[in-house]
Amino acid sequence: MSDYVSYMEEHGHEQLMVFGDASTGLRGAIAIHDTTLGPALGGLRIWPHATEHDSIMDVLRLSEAMTLKSAAASLDLGGGKAIIMRNAARDKTEALLRSFGTKVDSLNGKYITTEDVGTTTADMQWVARETNYVTGLPSESGGSGDPSPMTSYGLYQGLLATAQYLWGSDDLSGMRVVLMGLGKVGNYLLPYLKGEGAVIYGTDIDQDRVERAQNQFGLVPITPDEVFNYECDIFVPCALGGILNDQTVPQLQCKAVCGGANNQLLEPRHADDLAARDILYAPDYIVNAGGVINVFHEIGRSYSAEEARRKTGQIYNTLTTVYENAKAENISTDEAARRIALSRIDSVRKIRRAR
| Residue 80 pLDDT greater than 90, yes or no | yes
pLDDT tens sequence across 225-283: 999 999 999 999 999 889 999 999 999 999 999 999 988 999 999 999 999 999 999 99
Confidence of residue 300 (pLDDT cuts 50, 70, 90): confident
**What's the Cα-to-Cα distance from 37 to each of 33, 68, 81, 155, rounded to whole Å?**
11, 11, 16, 24
Contact 32, 67 (CB under 8 A): no
Same domain, 128 and 218: no
Determine the structural domain holding residue 263 and report its residue range.
Answer: 148-290+316-341
Catalytic residues, by residue number, are: 81
In whole angstroms, give the CA distance from residue 343 to residue 162. 23
Same domain, 6 and 31: yes
Same domain, 126 and 248: no
| Residue 195 pLDDT greater than 90, yes or no | yes
Domain count, the chain: 2
| Residue 301 pLDDT greater than 90, yes or no | no
Bridge partners of residue 177, in order along the sequence: 200, 234
Same domain, 97 and 183: no
103 within a domain of the structure (yes/no): yes
**What's the Cα-to-Cα distance from 333 to each of 168, 267, 340, rounded to whole Å?**
18, 14, 11
Which CATH number do you get for residue 94?
A: 3.40.50.10860
What confidence score (pLDDT) does residue 355 get? 64
What confidence score (pLDDT) does residue 241 get? 85
Same domain, 33 and 163: no
| Residue 351 pLDDT greater than 90, yes or no | no
The residue-averaged pLDDT of 61-84 equals: 96
Same domain, 320 and 186: yes
In whole angstroms, give the CA distance from residue 292 to residue 269. 26
| Residue 2 pLDDT greater than 70, yes or no | no
Confidence of residue 341 (pLDDT cuts 50, 70, 90): very high
140 within a domain of the structure (yes/no): no
Of the listed ranges 257-266, 274-283, 301-310, 346-355, the least confidently predicted one is: 346-355
208 within a domain of the structure (yes/no): yes
The residue-averaged pLDDT of 219-223 equals: 97
What confidence score (pLDDT) does residue 200 get? 99
What is the residue-averaged pLDDT of the chain?
Answer: 96
Query: At 319, phi and psi to the nearest 5?
Result: -65, -40
| Residue 326 pLDDT greater than 90, yes or no | yes
Contact 163, 175 (CB under 8 A): yes
212 within a domain of the structure (yes/no): yes
Confidence of residue 143 (pLDDT cuts 50, 70, 90): confident
Of the listed ranges 26-35, 89-98, 114-123, 208-217, the least confidently predicted one is: 114-123
What percentage of the chain carries pLDDT values higher than 90?
Answer: 91
Confidence of residue 142 (pLDDT cuts 50, 70, 90): confident
| Residue 348 pLDDT greater than 80, yes or no | yes
Amino acid letter, residue 265: L
Same domain, 327 and 283: yes
Give the residue with greater pLDDT, 144 vs 40: 40
128 within a domain of the structure (yes/no): yes
What confidence score (pLDDT) does residue 347 get? 94
- Of 134, 162, 181, the residue at which a domain comes to its end is 134
What confidence score (pLDDT) does residue 352 get? 76
Which distant-in-sequence residues (6+ apart) come within 8 Å of 53 by Cβ?
none
The residue-averaged pLDDT of 25-37 equals: 98
What confidence score (pLDDT) does residue 145 get? 87
Same domain, 52 and 196: no
What confidence score (pLDDT) does residue 1 get? 60
Which distant-in-sequence residues (6+ apart) come within 8 Å of 211 by Cβ?
none
Same domain, 286 and 152: yes
Which CATH number do you get for residue 325?
A: 3.40.50.720
| pTM more than 0.85 | yes
| Residue 289 pLDDT greater than 80, yes or no | yes
Same domain, 179 and 323: yes
The residue-averaged pLDDT of 280-309 equals: 93
The residue-averaged pLDDT of 283-295 equals: 96
| Cα atoms in the Cβ-side hemisphere of radius 13 Å centred on 13 | 26
Same domain, 191 and 329: yes
